[in-house]
């Protein structure tokens, strides 16, 4: 556990550079160092992560030319086959995906946010354990989604769609992120955002899974996504959770700063975040596995947070806001690795380097 918390504290320390006026070239150097360290932490692991066994089974099924007992996208299968063809191990595949997945996110942060450390800190607080160290296919797809934000900001549809297409070959769930490009046409009043949240809380207590699955079949690749959702679903509705309180708290903060930050891209991201929050409530009350679709929308909170820190004039206020986010990443890390259902997958941290010795 100490190692995980140390990684969180190191991330907090390095990302705090966004609070101060520091030469941008110096910040880039430390940003790159942070990227290398986090990628090594995620990439050097061995038999660590709740999905490790599943991905290992896929690799060895392809290696031994036996049936793959999982519904997997062709891009990920092709990546496995390429590593097998070159004689590279499953650990090498995990190592490669960690560097590419995080590399896409770190790169996109420098192009889509006014402060590039903050989106990374926000993202890692939610997804370092659950995705970078477990659900590596969706983590890689989320890297493509991060890059697509560059073209949402620049209003370039073709490269945006190419990012979505690239991610879909790895994890089909990214197609749910397509609507974000068109959210520039949507203008909500503050009261509308509040209604979104209130309705969402109500839906969290009602199971409307039949309606949700029916609507899911109407979107591109809907039947394929539905089949995957059913295979992933635990069959239980989780309802309103403590995690939703954090989402709501961030939503209130983002909405408050809407009147201060006059930026079209901020408004697009704000719309996306609230849509993700609303859908998270619905899916939590109906089909828990569908929450995977909302993560693309909720992750934009990091860019929103960077706008807030950047637009806050007083250093004291910046520090207070940053401290809240910093505390959140530690709480999330501790919660993830001490959860009774998941701690056995992460503690102790194991690395294939130690195993080889």
Q: Which residues contact 265 (CB under 8 A, 6 or more apart)?
A: 152, 153
In DSSP terms, 351 is beta-bridged to 45
Q: Tens digit of pLDDT per residue, the chain (357 long)?
A: 789 999 999 999 999 999 988 999 999 999 999 999 999 999 999 999 989 999 999 999 999 999 887 789 999 999 999 999 999 999 999 999 999 999 999 999 999 999 999 999 999 998 999 889 999 999 999 999 999 999 999 999 999 999 999 999 999 889 989 999 999 988 888 899 999 889 888 887 777 666 666 666 666 666 666 666 666 655 565 666 767 888 899 999 999 999 899 899 999 999 999 999 998 888 877 777 777 889 999 999 999 999 999 999 888 999 999 999 999 999 988 888 888 777 788 888 999 886 554
Spatial neighbors of 333 by CB under 8 A, at least 6 apart, are: 4, 5, 7, 8, 125, 128, 129
Q: Cis ω on the peptide bond leading into residue 348 (within 30° of 0)?
A: yes
Read off the tokens for 349.
């941290």
Q: In whole angstroms, give the CA distance from residue 5 to residue 58.
A: 31
Using DSSP, state whether 163 is helix, strand or coil: helix
Predicted model pTM: 0.91
C-alpha 96/C-alpha 89 separation (Å) is 11
The Cα–Cα gap between 132 and 136 comes to 6
| Residue 330, pLDDT score | 92
């Amino acid at each position: 556990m100490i190692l995980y918390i140390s990684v969180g504290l190191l991330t907090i320390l390095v990302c705090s550079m966004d609070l101060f006026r520091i030469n941008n070239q110096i910040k880039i150097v430390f940003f790159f160092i942070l990227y290398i360290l986090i990628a090594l932490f995620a990439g050097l692991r061995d038999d660590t992560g709740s999905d490790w066994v599943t991905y290992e089974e896929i690799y060895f099924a392809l290696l031994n030319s036996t049936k793959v007992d999982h519904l997997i996208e062709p891009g990920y299968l092709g990546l496995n086959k390429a590593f097998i063809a070159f004689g590279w191990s499953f650990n090498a595949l995990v190592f490669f995906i960690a560097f590419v997945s995080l590399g896409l996110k770190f790169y996109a942060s420098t192009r889509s946010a006014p402060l590039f450390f903050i989106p990374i800190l926000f993202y890692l607080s939610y997804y370092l354990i659950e995705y970078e160290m477990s659900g590596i296919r969706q983590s890689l797809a989320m890297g493509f989604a991060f890059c697509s934000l560059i073209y949402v900001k620049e209003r370039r549809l073709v490269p945006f769609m190419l990012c979505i297409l690239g991610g879909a070959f790895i994890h089909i769930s990214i197609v749910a992120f397509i609507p974000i490009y068109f959210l520039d046409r949507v203008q909500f009043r503050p009261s509308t955002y509040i209604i979104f949240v209130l309705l969402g809380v109500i839906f969290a207590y009602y199971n409307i899974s039949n309606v949700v699955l029916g609507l899911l079949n109407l979107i591109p690749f809907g039947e394929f996504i539905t089949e995957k959702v059913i295979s992933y679903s635990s069959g239980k509705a989780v309802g309103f959770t403590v995690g939703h309180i954090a989402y709501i708290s961030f939503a209130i903060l983002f909405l408050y700063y809407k009147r201060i930050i006059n930026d079209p891209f901020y408004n697009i991201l704000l719309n996306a975040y609230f849509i993700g929050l609303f859908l998270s409530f619905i899916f939590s009350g109906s089909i828990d596995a569908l929450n995977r679709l909302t993560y693309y929308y909720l992750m934009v909170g990091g860019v929103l947070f960077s706008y807030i820190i950047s637009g806050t004039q007083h250093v004291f206020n910046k520090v207070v806001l940053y401290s809240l986010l910093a505390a959140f990443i530690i709480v999330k890390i501790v919660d993830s690795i001490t959860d009774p259902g998941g701690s056995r997958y992460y503690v102790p941290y194991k690395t294939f380097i130690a195993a080889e010795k």
